[in-house]
């Protein structure tokens, strides 16, 4: 083994390795040490909220009849951001084309494909509706009378929450969102709640319609990697009990209900990035030149 391959002399490499082992040995909590190392990486930063919501990762280690082997693998790939994208495949290869194969002037990252690319706009709408329907069924199963996407006209603009659910004299106004992997989840959830709660005219209209002042506003916030906002999960599970703890994992029954984030990349014949089984042929440049893919 050459010294160059070790980024220095062999002795220097061994010293760095020794220092690293010592730092791990003196760490009180090795799990916490490696967790923080993961969160400090490019691919791991979006998972920083994973440990804040109990049981949300149980699907990784538990058997589940709702998941096929392929779905399970794709969920894991989504979770750790190793789905096939031009940007990821270009790591360590500066000359390789990193730009979106749909023709966008943006690097083809998982975040771009999942959150911004025009090619996947329809899939994003389907994903959002699936999350909302998941919550709708949960509310109905708990005895709520549910209205979906009611339109309220106010002086500051129209408001159209995904769900307004009533049970006895209690009204829940619920709106869902799936955000990018660089977004602060709790902050995004608070903004979603404020968008509805701070509109006094909206609140008055709901009070008039349902005849009760007991109105609560909830955000349903996850990122594209399937990580929940801790505040969102607490409100849904502990505070208002709209979901049970077993409903939290995005894998398992969550996959059967709302789909895998990797489904956004699966549009055979329309988006070559969906060919996760290695059947993709040609270069990103050639795909951008192919107008039939648009």
Q: What is the pLDDT of residue 290?
A: 37
* Cβ contacts of 44 within 8 Å, gap of 6 or more: 37, 38, 80
pLDDT at 58 over 60: yes
pTM of the model: 0.77
* 270-291 per-position pLDDT tens digit: 333 333 222 233 344 443 443 3
Kindly state the average pLDDT of the residues 219-241: 95
Instruction: Give the strand pairing for 152-154 and 170-179.
Output: unpaired
Which class is 122-262 in CATH?
Answer: alpha beta
Please give the structure tokens belonging to residue 192: 């979603």
Q: What is the pLDDT of residue 23?
A: 63
Q: What is the pLDDT of residue 282?
A: 39
Evaluated on CA atoms 56, 60, 61, 67, the torsion sign reads positive
pLDDT at 65 over 90: no
* Cβ contacts of 227 within 8 Å, gap of 6 or more: 46, 47, 49, 50, 53, 56, 185
CB 192 within 8 A of CB 219: yes
pLDDT at 127 over 60: yes
Q: Tell me the domain boundaries of the chain.
A: 122-262
* 29-57 per-position pLDDT tens digit: 777 877 888 888 888 888 998 889 988 88
């Amino acid at each position: 083994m050459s010294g160059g391959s070790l980024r220095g002399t062999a002795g220097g490499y061994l010293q760095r390795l020794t220092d690293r082992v010592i730092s791990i040995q003196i760490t009180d909590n090795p799990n916490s040490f490696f967790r923080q190392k993961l969160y400090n990486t490019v691919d791991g930063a979006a998972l920083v909220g994973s440990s804040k919501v109990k049981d949300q990762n149980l699907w990784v280690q538990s058997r589940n009849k709702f998941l096929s082997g392929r779905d399970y693998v794709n969920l894991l790939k989504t979770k750790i951001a190793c789905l096939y994208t031009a940007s990821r495949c270009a790591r360590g290869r500066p000359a390789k084309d990193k730009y979106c194969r749909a023709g966008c002037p943006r690097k083809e990252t998982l975040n771009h494909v999942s959150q911004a690319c025009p090619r996947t706009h329809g899939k994003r709408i389907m994903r959002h509706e699936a999350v909302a329907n998941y919550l709708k069924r949960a509310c109905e199963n708990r005895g709520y009378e549910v209205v979906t996407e009611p339109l309220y006209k106010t002086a500051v603009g129209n408001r159209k929450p995904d769900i307004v659910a009533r049970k006895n004299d209690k009204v829940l106004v619920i709106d869902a969102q799936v955000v990018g992997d660089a977004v602060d989840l709790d902050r995004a959830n608070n903004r979603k709640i404020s968008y509805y709660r701070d509109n006094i005219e909206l609140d008055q209209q709901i009070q008039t319609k349902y005849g009760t002042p007991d109105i609560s506003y909830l955000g349903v916030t996850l990122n594209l990697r399937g990580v929940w906002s801790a505040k969102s999960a607490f409100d849904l599970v502990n505070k208002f009990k709209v979901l049970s703890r077993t409903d939290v994992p995005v894998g398992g029954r969550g996959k059967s209900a709302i789909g895998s984030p990797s489904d956004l990349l699966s549009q055979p014949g329309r988006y070559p990035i969906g060919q996760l089984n290695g059947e993709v042929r040609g270069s990103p440049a050639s795909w951008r030149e192919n107008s039939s893919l648009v």
